[in-house]
Structures are given as structure tokens and as C-alpha cells.
Amino acid sequence: MAGKLRLDKWLWQGRFFKTRTLAASRVQQDGVRINGVRVNKPATPVSPGDVLTFSQGTAVRVVRIEILGTRRGPAPEARELYSDLTPTRDEERNERPENPAFEGKGRPTKRDRRALDLSRARSLE
């Protein structure tokens, strides 16, 4: 089984989750997509080149496994294990349609209301 590692162990080594138990429970509950295929087993083997899609907090992360780790090291070492493919917030904003611009309409001013009252009063005469 050279060149493969358990999914929960890799997520833990990549510092996506604090404990391996937390990573395993997240895989079982929410599932993780490996190359677009949903898996619910923490023992699913992963290898370099696989693309993982999973939820972390309120965000959805997309990462490509570059290398398999041998230990859970410091954060800079963990960042070398993967390349982040998650779209940035700027890219997400560009995909969404823009909000309509303010057209200047809305509640009439006091001056507008007086003019409206005068015009109505004149029309009743």
C-alpha cells in the first residue's frame, strides 16, 4: 500500500482538523468527495493527485493532494502537502449578479408631499 494513506489521517496531517477523530467523524457524517465521488469511510485510501472537496466550518474547501505526509508537522510543512483550489471570495463575487443600483426613487420629501397635497386640493375644487 505504498503511495496511499487513509483519508482521515491525511486530513489530520494537513491540519484541516485538530484531531484525527474529528476528521473521521466529519468524513462519516458529511462525506468527502474524492475526484467527484462521495465517500463516507475514513479509511478510504488517497494518493497524490487526488482532488478532495469537503466542508470546513461554513466554507467548502477544494484541495489537490501534492504529497503524502509522514507526520503531523507545523503549519508551513502542512501547507506543502496540498495545493488549494478553493475559489477566493473575489472570484465568488464576480460570479454573482450585481445588486440593482439606487434609482433615486423612494419616499417623497416634505416639499414633494406639500406639492402633491396642493395639486390634489386644486383638482377637488
pLDDT at 66: 95
103 within a domain of the structure (yes/no): no
The answer to whether residue 71 is domain-embedded is yes
Boundaries of domain holding 28: 5-90
CATH number, domain of 77, equals 3.10.290.10
pTM, rounded to two decimals: 0.69
3-class DSSP assignment, residue 10: helix
- pLDDT tens track of the chain, all 125 residues? 458 999 999 999 999 999 999 999 999 998 899 999 999 999 999 999 999 999 988 889 999 999 998 999 999 999 999 999 988 766 555 565 666 665 677 788 898 889 888 888 887 76
Rounded CA-CA distance 19/122 in Å is 78
Residue 96 lies in a domain: no
Rg (alpha carbons) of the chain, rounded to whole number:
27
Q: Are 70 and 78 in contact (CB under 8 A)?
A: no
Q: How confident is the model at residue 1, as a pLDDT?
A: 45
In a domain, 85, yes or no: yes
Number of domains in the chain: 1
| Burial call 74-100: b when 16+ CB within 10 Å, e when fewer | eeeebeebbeeeeeeeeeeeeeeeeee
